[in-house]
Structures are given as C-alpha cells and as structure tokens.
Homo-oligomer: A and B are copies of this chain.
Amino acid sequence: MDLEQLRQQVADFALERDWDQFHSVRNLILAMVGEVGEVAEIVQWVGDDGMQDLLSSDGRTRLAQELSDVLIYLVRIADKSGIDLAEAVTKKLAENNEKYPSDKARGNSKKYTELGD
C-alpha cells in the first residue's frame, strides 16, 4: 500500500459521497482526535501488563480498525492541506536522524533538546 494510492482512494471515497464540504482541515483534525480517542479506549484499562492478552484476543482486530481510521484521516488532512505526506515523512525521518545521532541517543528516551554533547 503506497501513501499516494491511499490518498487517492480516500479522496475518491469522499468525492463519491460529496463529503468534501465536510472535509475542512480543522474538521478532519477533530475527527482524527476522535479516532485517537478510540485507540486510547481500547488500551485504557488493561495496564502495560495486560497488553499481550489484549493483542491475543479480539483487541488486536479492534486496534487495527481504529489505527486504520486514524491513518485515513491523517492522509486526508495532508491531502486537504496540500501536503505530500510521503515527502514530509521522508524529510522528518532524515531530520530525526540528525537530531538523534545513534551514539548519543542509544538507550536514552530524552528529547533531542536534552541530549548532552
């Protein structure tokens, strides 16, 4: 699945339903927040220790569905904002590579601004 293919499919889906009128960037961001909330709901009561059990049951399927919803809105937000998401993420990975050099960041969850010299 290519990000560009996905963008096209999601755009076609909206077009066929005349949903562009609802798909302002801020509306879509709020919709994404709603879906992220559903992701959180799935894992909210299990604790870190309960995740393996959750993922062995129907929790994995439910999580897969909600993550897909987040991805769909994410791709749509980028599209309606004139952002090439594939290009943006490639650039971000390169930036992260500079901000978090392996030797300093190894085994360390500190933010790059807090990594010592």
Query: In angstroms, how far is the closest chain B Cβ from the Cβ of A108?
Result: 8
A85 vs B38: C-alpha distance when bound (angstroms) = 17
How many copies, total?
A: 4
By size class, the interface of chain A is: 35 or more
What chain B residues lie within 8 Å of A90 (beta carbons)?
Answer: 1
A35 vs B92: C-alpha distance when bound (angstroms) = 13
A21 vs B60: C-alpha distance when bound (angstroms) = 21
A100 vs B17: C-alpha distance when bound (angstroms) = 8
- Per DSSP, chain A at the interface is helix
Residue in B closest to A51 when the chains form the complex, CB atoms: B25
What chain B residues lie within 8 Å of A89 (beta carbons)?
Answer: 1, 6, 68, 71-72
A47 beta carbon closer than 8 Å to chain B: yes
Residue in B closest to A77 when the chains form the complex, CB atoms: B67
Q: Are B71 and A48 in contact (CB under 8 A)?
A: no
The 8 Å CB contact of A69, one of B6, B31, B48, B92, is B92
Question: Which 10 residue pairs across A and B have the least CB separation, nearest first?
Answer: A37-B37, A1-B86, A68-B92, A64-B88, A33-B40, A30-B44, A34-B41, A45-B109, A68-B89, A48-B48
